[in-house]
A and B are shown apart, each in its own frame.
Chain A
Amino acid sequence: DQQVKQNSPSLSVQEGRISILNCDYTNSMFDYFLWYKKYPAEGPTFLISISSIKDKNEDGRFTVFLNKSAKHLSLHIVPSQPGDSAVYFCAASVRTGGGADGLTFGKGTHLIIQP
């Protein structure tokens, strides 16, 4: 059973517009969430994270929003640039208890930025 779900396999956005990638999770124990970006033939690259004690974290063009009651998070990219075209993975872990599980990943969303 998928504990982290990215229901959109792909998303096409025009350059300069906002890209919104969504992620849902089912495990209420998750308390740390991350977004990774992946280009072909490369490993995932860390983008941004958020702890469950926050509902928003911003880093440059990237903002992650967390809605704990809905078990939903989203990544906003503004403005979208051609180099943002990649597969984006949502990931979650449990950090309480003095340690952390490995990350549980969604299946990814392929973002395509159209010129």
Chain B
Amino acid sequence: QSALTQPASVSGSPGQSITISCTGTSSDVGSYNLVSWYQQHPGKAPKLMIYEVSKRPSGVSNRFSGSKSGNTASLTISGLQAEDEADYYCCSYAGSSTHVVFGGGTKLTVL
């Protein structure tokens, strides 16, 4: 069982927007603005999409955005494209003892 809770799957049609939630606790997501999101295509290494809740690395499309409210972080993908179909994982810093917690991953299907 993962420390952060994500929906197992979400889907959307090309051009639509979807949001993936990531719920933690006051010990991780709620305490630190250190939530990151990773995209993983089958057989590939994860790719950083969002860090520090809402920052986008250079080269990542501005269709990807992140936010946080309380113990829940969210990743929104607007203008869905076929290439966005992948697994998405959230991750949060969790302090000097636990260090890092991951979500269980969300499979995004572009219909």
Q: Do A and B bind each other?
A: no
B residues bordering A, Cβ < 8 Å? Answer: none
